[in-house]
């Protein structure tokens, strides 16, 4: 039986490195993304943490046996204009299939609701089917696709958007 999962939010020592490491390992193994991608995650996530404000953004984490097994971030949920952004959603291999991603996503959606956020978007790329299904279950809709090389190699980048009040989809999966 796997160890229980403890959910939290906010920065703790070592968290930046752990989140960057999870991204680097997963995307190198499964998508052949290398140092360009890892450096991009490190720079952008580090900049986010430097100005982290829990009243407008939220950095959710999941730990099991004192190891990070998942994270998800909402950036700018309480902004009066524009849309919040869902970023850095990642699960460690040992976190997959345990409902951790679903729980992190629900925490994010609850935060959007609590802050009165009316819109949120995320960027990803084609082929991450499990994540896409989870986004769609929470009423994110694909709004744009285009080839993009900023990931470290050309990929079909996708933008998904969520708007408050959109009717829930019926998923029987």
The pLDDT-based confidence of 151 (bands split at 50, 70, 90) is confident
Residue tagged 């193994």 (tokens): 29
Instruction: Name the architecture of domain 5-121.
Output: 3-Layer(aba) Sandwich (3.40)
Domain extents in the chain: 5-121
The pLDDT-based confidence of 172 (bands split at 50, 70, 90) is very low
Cα distance between residue 92 and residue 62, in whole Å = 10
Order the strands of the 84-91 sheet from edge to edge.
5-9, 58-64, 67-75, 84-91, 119-125, 155-163, 141-148
Give percent of the chain above pLDDT 70: 93
54 has a pLDDT exceeding 50: yes
Mean pLDDT across the stretch 96-119?
93
pLDDT (0 to 100) of residue 98: 86
> Is 144 in contact with 160 (CB distance < 8 Å)?
no
pLDDT (0 to 100) of residue 165: 72
Mean pLDDT across the stretch 62-77?
94
pLDDT (0 to 100) of residue 171: 35
Cα distance between residue 156 and residue 20, in whole Å = 22
Token digits for 49? 């943490």
> Is 46 in contact with 19 (CB distance < 8 Å)?
no
Please state the pTM of the whole predicted model: 0.90
Q: What are the backbone angles phi and psi of residue 63, rounded to the nearest 5°?
A: -120, 145
77 has a pLDDT exceeding 60: yes
Mean pLDDT across the stretch 4-8?
94
């Amino acid at each position: 039986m796997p160890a229980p999962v403890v959910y939290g939010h906010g920065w703790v020592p070592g968290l930046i490195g752990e989140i960057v490491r999870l991204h680097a390992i997963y995307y190198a193994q499964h998508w052949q993304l290398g140092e360009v991608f890892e450096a991009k995650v490190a720079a952008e996530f580090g900049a986010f943490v430097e100005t982290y404000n829990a009243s407008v953004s939220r950095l959710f984490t999941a730990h099991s046996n004192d190891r990070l097994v998942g994270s998800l971030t909402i950036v700018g949920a309480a902004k009066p204009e524009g849309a919040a952004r869902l970023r850095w959603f990642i699960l460690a291999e040992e976190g997959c299939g345990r409902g951790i991603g679903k729980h992190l996503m629900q925490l994010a959606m609850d935060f959007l609701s609590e802050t009165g956020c009316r819109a949120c978007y995320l960027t990803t790329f084609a082929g991450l089917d499990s994540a896409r299904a989870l986004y769609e279950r929470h009423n994110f809709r694909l709004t744009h696709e285009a080839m993009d090389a900023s990931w470290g190699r050309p990929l079909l980048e996708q933008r998904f958007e969520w708007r408050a009040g959109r009717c829930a989809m019926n998923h029987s999966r």
